[in-house]
Amino acid sequence: MKNNKIIQERLNLINNLKARRIIVSENVYNAMLNVPRHLFLPELNLDKAYIDTPQQIGKGQTISAPHMNAMMCEYLEIKPGDKILEIGTGSGYHAAILAELTGKDGIVYTIERIPELAIKAKEKLKELSYSNVEVIINDGTKGLESKAPFDKILVTAASPKIPKSLLVQLNPNNGILCIPVGKRHWDQDLIVINRIKGKYIKKKVCKVIFVPLIGENGFEK
Ligand code: SAM
């Protein structure tokens, strides 16, 4: 694809998300405009990079549809300087958006259990100069205790329950966790949890479909 065509397609997609009121804040609009989604996709799917659908990224995993990336970012209310934990690096695309949102004073830790995906994502993020993202190969259901507490935690795979390990690693002062919860491949809800003065306030926001979160506090392999 020619560069001008790519830029125009990205602009059309982001403007469409804004028109549908999925993107509502300027920072999410700008972050999604800045990240070249096509560079995070396998060659085979390049021409579908700016269609609002999930895509295969290999190893049986997917990159979420852009409207889901946008929606989760809006719920997380990311501010410059936030310390963010993402579970499920996948292609690295969403981590790049988070990095744009938190900026050079913030940091994004992103955990992926499949080493091949993590290595590929790490290389891509480095190539695109995202120096505020650290990719870790591990079981993300345990969180990342050594770097806690986190201002924001994003889980991009569906869990059978909300892992306690993540709740306790959330900043007690206005920390936000966004996580899909439900059955292994269906009947899942996107849950947003605000931790205010140490108390957890939970709301179900919509039905979703994500690949399973596999690990000690998630689904079995
Ligand atoms: N955020 C990704 C992106 O922008 O491409 C898409 C994530 S994909 C929908 C979900 C990812 O979660 C998969 O890559 C999967 O391997 C990963 N995953 C599942 N269980 C995990 C776990 N316990 N720890 C870390 N990653 C996990």
Reported as half-sphere exposure (CB side, CA atoms, 13 A), residue 179 has a value of 29
**Residue 77, domain member (yes or no):** yes
- Between CA 85 and CA 175 the distance in angstroms is 11
Q: Which of 100, 114, 181 to mutate to test the pocket of ligand 1 (most atoms within 8 A of CB)?
A: 114
pLDDT given for residue 1 in this prediction: 57
- Nearest-atom number in ligand 1 for the CA of 216 is 23
With respect to residue 149, please indicate whether it lies within any of the assigned structural domains.
Answer: yes
Q: Tell me which residue has its CA closest to atom 11 in ligand 1.
A: 88
Q: Is 165 a catalytic residue?
A: no
* The pLDDT of residue 45: 76
Ligand 1 geometric centre to CA of 160 (Å): 15
Domains: count for the chain? 1
CB of 36 sitting under 6 A from ligand 1? no
Whether residue 145 is contained in a domain is answered as yes
Checking 41-48 for CB contacts under 8 A at 24+ apart, the result is 41/91, 46/1, 47/1
Tell me how far the alpha carbon of residue 169 lies from the centroid of ligand 1, in angstroms: 19
Which domain covers residue 160, as residue numbers?
A: 2-208
Measured between alpha carbons, how far is 210 from 18 in angstroms, rounded to an integer? 23
The verdict on residue 89 lying in a domain is: yes
Q: Look at residues 135, 184, 177 and name the one whose alpha carbon lies nearest to residue 153.
A: 177
Beta bridge partners of 199: 196
Per the domain annotation, does 64 fall within a domain?
Answer: yes
Per-residue confidence (pLDDT) for residue 136, from 0 to 100: 98
- Whichever domain contains 134, its CATH number is 3.40.50.150
The answer to whether position 213 is within a domain reads no
In a domain, 215, yes or no: no
Residues in the chain: 221
Q: How far apart are CA 211 and CA 172, in angstroms?
A: 29
Q: What stretches in the chain show pLDDT beneath 70?
A: 1
Nearest residue (by CA) to ligand 1, atom 19, is: 213
The answer to whether residue 219 sits within a structural domain is no
